[in-house]
Amino acid sequence: MPYDLIVIGSGPGGYVCAIRAAQLGMKVAVVEKDKTFGGTCLNVGCIPSKALLHASELFDEAGHTFGKMGIKVGAPALDLPAMMKFKDEGVDGNVKGVAYLLKKNKVDAFQGVGRITAPGKIEVESANSKTETIETKNIVIATGSDVARLRGIDIDEKRIVSSTGALVLPKVPAKLLVVGAGVIGLELGSVWRRLGSQVHVVEFLDRILPGMDLDVAKSFQRILQKQGITFRLSSKVTAIDSSGPTLKASVEPAAGGAAETIEADVALIAIGRVPYTEGLGLEAAGVKLDDRKRVAVDAHFATSVPGIYAIGDVIAGPMLAHKAEDEGVAVAEIIAGHAGHVNYDVIPNVIYTFPEVASIGKSEEELKAAGVAYNTGKFPFTANGRAKVNLQTDGFVKILADAKTDRVLGVHILGPDAGNMIAEAAVAMEFGGSSEDIARTCHAHPTLTEAVKEAAMAVEKRSIHM
Ligand SMILES: Cc1cc2nc3c(=O)[nH]c(=O)nc-3n(C[C@H](O)[C@H](O)[C@H](O)COP(=O)(O)OP(=O)(O)OC[C@H]3O[C@@H](n4cnc5c(N)ncnc54)[C@H](O)[C@@H]3O)c2cc1C
């Protein structure tokens, strides 16, 4: 009996899709080439990076703010192997959780590299090169993404590392060069800065965090600089000489010009990620890619071949775990004949540094470019009672609302716990809410969320605490 659905890849897109499909009564299997389930996110992405961000943040606080609150602990000492063990145990617990959920939902698992040999046929090659062919009515490609590389620079995952190597460094590098001022570079740069590295970030563009609201990005850069991270914008790393005891990176102005040398002990290449379609047999199967080598899909996640769908990092859209998960649910529902849907206008984006950065919807630049008239309400954490008493006053909340209808079009939070607070904006926006809806919603005192309410009140210039 063929399966109703086989999902290739067990990341947040793939495993969530498999579980939802099983809930809907389908006979489901997943194919995963790695030893553990959970994909990039659980093994080498979201989960391990957040474990190190959490631990290093507490380490930083113990060294710098505990004393101010009357907690005397002396200078904290770093036990890096123990911190890595803490992270690894967190990863282990999470990947085992996925294995448990797949089993509980009666999803079969095949370990090996999956290749589509024809619509409805997948050949799985296991580590010992044994192959078997499994048959299915539908296929979902959820093979995710891989590290983007710089031409001429070999990632050895020891001294020249991707995010994967940066999560397992055996000692704190005295000097860390981060190539790329995107989310991953700034998160992992923050981890190693807190643990003692001198961190220098080189970015091709003239700003950090491309795509993020510029006002937020500029304020965030100032905060990171105050913390000790240095930046060289509008610059490109063209080569890294690793023949000597320290790395020598050649850095040129982005527009071209004389190269300078920057020395570092470790270089983190964090210039983005690329869709992963290697070995899947897509060309032979007739599955079309788009101009950026992502699997091309329609609004229902269907590829160019009937019965083959794709979701997550391997298709267009933000490379985020929760986007992949929502697509996993939607495609399972569509295959089952329901009306699965993802609202791409309401996908939060969070950077888990300190302070955190969280945004949803449109930036000011996007609204201006689209010619949309909007009102802005902004409220700083310096005026929020809870932030003040916690000594965490960097940042602000900014709400962008349609000038005519007051509908919330974008919310941007730079501040402590921004990643949790953005959920309120997501719900409001999903319901088509206005800034007045948020402003008239009672928020508990004293909480950081009052800054969201005050920013909403500021849209109509009636915030109380400013
Ligand atoms: C350091 C880092 C930090 C991140 N932090 C966050 C964060 O905080 N929040 C967030 O939302 N996102 C974060 N991301 C991004 C997030 O990890 C991805 O968006 C998410 O994992 C994409 O899910 P996916 O299911 O599409 O693919 P993946 O998670 O990449 O899973 C794809 C799976 O498919 C398997 N596979 C590939 N090809 C085959 C094949 N032919 N046969 C069998 N199996 C195959 C792979 O082994 C992998 O397990 C981070 C990424 C990195 C690298």
Q: How far apart are CA 136 and CA 192, in angstroms?
A: 46
Give the pLDDT confidence of 23-37 residue by residue, as tens digits: 999 999 999 999 999
The Å distance, Cα 312 to ligand 1 centre, comes to: 8
Supply 54's token pair: 């959490």
CB atoms within 10 A of CB 151: 6
Q: How far apart are CA 267 and CA 260, in angstroms?
A: 16
Ligand 1 atom at shortest distance from the alpha carbon of 147:
53
The Å distance, Cα 287 to ligand 1 centre, comes to: 21
pTM: 0.97
CB 350 within 8 A of CB 428: no
Q: Is the CB of 45 under 6 A from ligand 1?
A: yes
User: Could you identify the residue written with the tokens 């939802």?
Assistant: 20
Supply 337's token pair: 């004949």
Q: Residue 138, SS3?
A: strand
Peptide bond into 210 cis (omega under 30): no
CB 10 within 8 A of CB 37: yes
Q: Is the CB of 34 under 6 A from ligand 1?
A: yes
Q: What per-residue confidence (pLDDT) applies to 357?
A: 98
Which class for 373: exposed (0-12), middle (13-18), buried (19 or more C-beta within 10 A)?
A: exposed
How sure is the predictor about 80, in pLDDT bands with cuts at 50, 70 and 90? very high
Active-site hit among 338, 341, 445, 465 = 445
Lateral strand order in the sheet of 356-361? 349-351, 356-361, 408-415, 396-402, 374-380
The Å distance, Cα 142 to ligand 1 centre, comes to: 9
- ∠ CA 174-192-86, nearest 5°, is 125
What average pLDDT does this structure show over 143-157?
97
Helix (H) or strand (E) holding 260: strand 260-264
CA distance to 34, 273, 330, 364, per residue, from 10 (Å): 9, 18, 16, 36
Q: What per-residue confidence (pLDDT) applies to 1?
A: 76
Supply 33's token pair: 């080439």
Ligand 1 atom at shortest distance from the alpha carbon of 163:
1
User: Is residue 322 over pLDDT 80?
Assistant: yes
Which residue type, as a one-letter code, is found at position 284? Answer: A
| 412 belongs to the catalytic site | no
Give the pLDDT confidence of 387-408 residue by residue, as tens digits: 999 999 999 999 999 999 999 9
Q: What pairing do the DSSP bridges indicate for beta strands 273-275 and 145-147?
A: antiparallel
Please tell me the residue having the least CA distance from ligand 1 atom 49: 39
CB 348 within 8 A of CB 342: no
